[in-house]
Amino acid sequence: MKKVFITGALGQLGQALVELMKNKPEYQLYLTDSSPSEDGIVRRLDITQEVAVESEIASFFPDIIINCAAMTAVDLCESEQEKAYNINALGPKYIAKIADRIGAKLIHISTDYVYDGQAQTPYTEEQPVNPVSVYGRTKNEGDVFVRKYCAKSFILHTAWVYGEGKNFVKTMLRLADEGKKIRVVADQIGTPTSALELARLIIFLMETDSYGKYHATCEGSTTWYDFAHKIFELAGKRVELEPITTSEHPTPAKRPMYSVLDNKMLRQTHGYYMKDWEDAFKEYMDRMQIN
């Protein structure tokens, strides 16, 4: 049996991991998030509090820690830079240090936003990072700390995640129900990634000793506009959808224009392929019974 400690357990990825691992005799789970769950199963742990992080993790003495906690509100990070740094950089540092001290493996989740989006072909793990937002910069600082402080660490760069919780899919469906015309950016390219599909990968990878940096998105690529189209097609909703450019939709945080990631390390090291984004998305819609 493996003892698994999860931060951010009430977030999209956290919930997907719990769904796959709960009630399985091979795992003993210790779940935490910034607020506790009503049923008390998820305990409160703020990852920016070093002493609490150390004592909570050391007392459970896990084999594996999965850090799903992050400040993911990309635009808010621009105006709350210190908070973003504390959660996205210092939190992972504290977790990495205690993980290393107790000999636990650490799976840390990072983002496509560490890249500047100037590429025209998928990014491989060897390519240099160059974040263009506070979110991307603070997440990258977290990655650097994890690499520095924890020998047994995996850093997984994922993108455009949807699962249980707030995400692009839910926003599109809500707007469709409001019956208004929907304008969606059509010049940013990336890969929608199912939280469940990412959770499956994490459960596979955490049993290995192949530490290091991995790109971990679904296969293929699309634009936000085409993704919106797919959402409405599978949900059977008729909406007026208009493609717009990034410059027509200014946001506080700059986004990478092209952030398709090549899961080269997963393929080469493990022969592991994540699902194509459209297949994974269909699975999600089927499960949500939106269809």
Ligand X SMILES: NC(=O)c1ccc[n+]([C@@H]2O[C@H](COP(=O)([O-])OP(=O)(O)OC[C@H]3O[C@@H](n4cnc5c(N)ncnc54)[C@H](OP(=O)(O)O)[C@@H]3O)[C@@H](O)[C@H]2O)c1
Residue 138 touches ligand X, criterion: CB under 6 A: no
According to CB under 6 A, which one of 21, 29, 48, 200 is a site residue for ligand X? 48
Give the position of tokens 């950089």. 89
According to CB under 6 A, which one of 21, 72, 241, 256 is a site residue for ligand X? 72
Question: Among residues 1 and 111, whose Cβ is nearest to ligand X?
Answer: 111
Tell me the closest approach of the beta carbon of residue 48 to ligand X, in angstroms: 5
DSSP for the chain, written as a single string: -EEEEEESTTSHHHHHHHHHHTT-TTEEEEEEESS--TTSSEEE--TT-HHHHHHHHHHH--SEEEE------HHHHHH-HHHHHIIIIIHHHHHHHHHHHHT-EEEEEEEGGGS-S--SSPBPTTSPP---SHHHHHHHHHHHHHHHH-TTEEEEEE-SEESSSS-HHHHHHHHHHHT--EEEE-S-EE--EEHHHHHHHHHHHTTS---EEEE---BS-EEHHHHHHHHHHHHT----EEEE-GGGS--SS---SB--B--HHIIIII---PPBHHHHHHHHHHHHT--
Is 135 in the active site? yes
According to CB under 6 A, which one of 46, 78, 100, 125 is a site residue for ligand X? 46
Q: State which residue has the least CB distance to ligand X.
A: 11
Residue 114 touches ligand X, criterion: CB under 6 A: no
According to CB under 6 A, which one of 11, 131, 136, 256 is a site residue for ligand X? 11
Residue 205 touches ligand X, criterion: CB under 6 A: no
Tell me the closest approach of the beta carbon of residue 188 to ligand X, in angstroms: 13
Residue 106 touches ligand X, criterion: CB under 6 A: no
Residue 70 touches ligand X, criterion: CB under 6 A: yes
* DSSP bridge partners of 33: 44
Residue 160 touches ligand X, criterion: CB under 6 A: yes
CA atoms within 13 A on the CB side of 11: 20
Tell me the closest approach of the beta carbon of residue 85 to ligand X, in angstroms: 11
Question: Among residues 12 and 194, whose Cβ is nearest to ligand X?
Answer: 12
Which of 27, 135, 162, 214 is an active site residue?
135
> Which window, 33-41, 174-182, 245-253, 282-290, contacts ligand X (CB under 6 A)?
33-41
According to CB under 6 A, which one of 47, 77, 150, 172 is a site residue for ligand X? 47
Binding site for ligand X (CB under 6 A): 7-8, 10-14, 33-35, 45-48, 68-72, 87, 91, 109, 111, 139, 158-161, 165
